[in-house]
Amino acid sequence: MLLFFSIFFKLTFGQTGAHEQINMTSEENQITAVADSVIEYMIEKNVDGLKSILDKDFTLTHITGYVQSREEWFSEIESEGMKYYSAKKIKHEINLNGNEAVSTFQHLLDARIWGSRNTWRLQQRMKLSKRGNHWIIVNSVASTF
């Protein structure tokens, strides 16, 4: 628990992908990089990049509670039914337990989702699993903060 709070208070964030690596372990740095990559790939419409870090059975639970498969989400990104413009990271927490982790972060996300553009106060809680030497996101649950 002390590690969790230590990470929470020591991380300082700016624009998407930027993070300060103060007293973070290699595992925590890898998890942070994967979490940052999700946002970067969403904005870039980089479905191949997303495929490289999301489990084949990945699901995304939206703010509405709708559970979307990886392939359906990719289709929405490619067709711009879900269009991501920018993100500013506010906070990031990591809870690491061996080869499993939960990464919770908050962003101000400028996006158009099914026709409604807004700057969303988005919190994503991602479950990750270490496979070999790589962290893979198993699922993500979105909410507002």
Q: Could you tell me the residue ranges of all domains in the chain?
A: 2-144
pLDDT above 90 for 9: no
Q: For residue 22, what pLDDT is reported?
A: 58
Higher pLDDT, 14 or 122: 122
For domain 2-144, the question of CATH label 3.30.565.10 is answered with: no
- For the residues 65-94, what does the mean pLDDT come to? 97
- For the residues 121-145, what does the mean pLDDT come to? 97
Cα–Cα dist 47/37, whole Å: 11
Q: For residue 18, what pLDDT is reported?
A: 44
Q: For residue 20, what pLDDT is reported?
A: 47
- For the residues 23-28, what does the mean pLDDT come to? 90
- For the residues 16-38, what does the mean pLDDT come to? 80
Cα–Cα dist 47/23, whole Å: 32
pLDDT above 90 for 128: yes
Cβ atoms 145, 133 nearer than 8 A? no
* pTM exceeds 0.85, yes or no: no
